Amino acid sequence: MDPNDGDDDEEEFGLSRNYFLAKETGSGSGRKSARKLSDIALVDEQVLRAAVPEIVPKHEKEIASLVKSYKDLYSKWLFELRCGFGLLMYGFGSKKILLEDFASSALTDFGVVVINGYLPSVNIKQVVITVAEVLWDQLKAKCKGFTGSKPKIQHPSISQSTEDLLSFLGGQLPNENDCFVCVVIHNIDGPALRDSESQQYLARIACCSHVRMIASIDHVNAALLWDKKMVHTQFNWCWYHVPTFAPYKAEGVFLPLILASGGNAQTTKTALVILQSLTPNAQSVFKILAEYQLANEKEEGMPVNTLYTKCRERFLVSSQVTLNSHLTEFKDHELVKTRRHSDGQDCLYIPLASEALEKLLQELV
C-alpha cells in the first residue's frame, strides 16, 4: 500500500549507523587531535565582542528577496488564523523580522502582542493581562454597548487571577467569531519558555477562542516540548518551513561567544542563578561593580580599592576581609575576573556584554 515503507526503515537504519560511525571516528580523531583552545592566537575578548557587530553581512540581497517571497503567503496565513489554527514557523535563520512584518501588514484588524521567548525570562501572567487588555479594548471598540451588556466582565487587571483572565479570553461572545488577539512568540522554544509550566500556560492561552498564536522555533528538538494534548487540541499548529538565513542578532545576545573566556563563559541565566543564591549584601556588592562597569564601558575594570571604598560607604562590608570573601565567591563562580590595569594595579570586571549585564541587573531587583 505504501511505497515509502522501505525508505522509512532505511532512514532509521541510516540514523543509527551514522551515530555509531560518528562515535567511532570521534574516538579516533579525538585521540589524534587533542589541541587546546590556547593553541590558537585568541584575540582579546573585548576586541572580539567589538568585532561581532562589525561582521560584514553576506548575501543581504538574496536574504531580502527570500524573505520577501514569503509575503505571498501572508493571505494564506491569515486565512488559517481565521480558521482557528496557529502558525508555527521553522527553518534556519531569524524569523523575527518576518513575523513582525506579517503582523504589522496583514494583521492590522487585530491587536498583536509580541513575546520575545529568546530572553532569559518572561512573566506569563503579565502577558495574559496584556492580551486580555488588548482584547477588551478591541471588543469595546467593536460593539459600543459591550461593557453595558456584559456587566460580568470586568476590565482586566493585575488583581484578577490567571484563571479568570484565561476564561475571559476563552469566553464565547455571540456574533464575535472573528474577533481575536494575535500573540506572536519569537522562539517559543527559547530559554524563557522552555520549561513545561510555561508551555502549559502558553497552550492554555493558545486554545482560547479569542487568541491566535503565531510562533517561531529554531531548536531542532522543539517539538519535544509538547505532549499530544497540547499539539492536537491546544496549539493546533499549522507548520511552515520558512528559512530566512537572517542573522540571529537579537536571539544570540544572551549566549556566550565560544572563543571568549575559554568557551564556558557566563550567561545571564547562570549568573542570575548564582547571584540569587548569595546574600543580599553580596548581591549589592556585585551591583556596585556592575553599575560601575556600565557607566565606564571604556575602562578595563574597577580597581579593587575603589570597590572597597564604595562598599564601605554603603555599609555593605566592614573590612577588606569581608570584601575579599565576597570576591572569592564571585571569582569561583566566574562572575568576576581580574586583569592588570594599564597603570599597573589589579582591577575587577564582569565577563558579560553590556546588554546582558543590564538585563541581569533588571532581573536581580
Partner 1 sequence: MLPSPISDPPTSSAAAASDDVDNNLQPFFVLHKALPRKSERKSSGCGRARRKIDLPPSSPKSIEKSDVSSPEEANDRIYEQLRLQAFNRTWSKIDSTIKDVLRQINLNLFDEVQRWVLESFSNIKSIRPHKVSEIQRPYPLVTDTICRKIPTALIFTKNAEFVDDLLTFQELGGHLKSSGCHVAYLSSLDFSVKHGISGCLRSLLRQLVSEAPDMADIYILASWYCEPENYDNPILLIIDDMERCCGAVLAEFITMLSEWVIKIPIIFIMGVATTFDAPRRLLLSDAQQHLHPSKFTLGSPCEKMNALVESVLVKSCSGFSIGHKVAAFLRNYFLRHDGTITSFVRALKLACIKHFEMEPLSFLGLDIPDEDCEIFQHGQCDSLPDSLRNHAFNLPSCQREKNLKGTGGSLIHGLTELRTLQKGWSSAVMCLFEVGKQKNMQLLDIFCEAIDPTLYNLRASDHNLQLSSLTGRSLIEGKSGFAKGGFIAQAIQQVRELPAASLSHLLNIWVVHIEEMNEIQDRVRELQSIISSGGGGPVLKEKCTDIHKRSISLSAGKGTLSVNDKAAMLLEGMVRKFLMPIECVPFHEIVCFKHVDVLQSALIGDPRRTIQVDLLKSPTYLQCRCCSRRGNVLSSSMHDTSIIYSLAQEYGDIINLPDWYQSFKATVSAGTKTKRKLQHSPASKKVKATPSESEATIQARFCRAVTELQITGLIRMPSKRRPDFVQRVAFGL
**Binding to partner 1 in span 84-123, by CB under 8 A:** 85, 88, 90-93, 96-98, 100-101, 103-105, 108-116, 119, 121-123
Contacts to partner 1 from residues 34-63, by CB under 8 A: 34-37, 39-43, 47-48, 50-52, 54-56, 58-59, 62-63
Calpha distance 185→32 (Å, rounded): 45
Q: Give least dist CB 266 to partner 1, A.
A: 12
Rounded distance between C-alpha atoms, residue 280 and residue 178, angstroms: 50
Torsion, Cα of 197, 198, 199, 201 (10° steps): 90
Residues in a beta bridge with 302 = 348
| 315 torsion bin: left (phi>0), alpha (psi -120 to 50), beta (else) | left
Measure Cα distances from 148 to 160, 164, 177 in Å: 20, 19, 20
Q: With binding defined as CB under 8 A, does residue 155 bind partner 1?
A: no
Q: Is 4 exposed, middle or buried (0-12, 13-18, 19+ CB in 10 A)?
A: exposed
Q: Candidates 124-132, 279-287, 288-296, 339-347 — which segment interacts with partner 1 by CB under 8 A?
A: 124-132
Residue closer to partner 1, measured from CB, 227 or 346: 227
Number of residues lying near partner 1 (CB under 8 A): 130
Task: Write down the least CB distance from residue 294 to partner 1, Å.
Answer: 14
User: Smallest distance from the beta carbon of 317 to partner 1, in angstroms?
Assistant: 30
User: Rule CB under 8 A: which of 203-222 touch partner 1?
Assistant: 217-222
Q: Is 235 in the site for partner 1 (CB under 8 A)?
A: no
Cα maximum dimension of the chain: 81
Give the residue with the Cβ less far from partner 1, 106 or 288: 106
When the beta carbons of 123 and 345 are compared against partner 1, the nearer one is 123
Mark 261-300 with x for binding to partner 1 (rule: CB under 8 A) and - for no binding: -xxx------------------------------------
* Contact (CB, 8 A) for 361 and 290: yes
As a whole number of angstroms, the distance between CA 207 and CA 230 comes to 9
Of the candidate residues 7, 9, 10, 83, the single one contacting partner 1 (CB under 8 A): 83
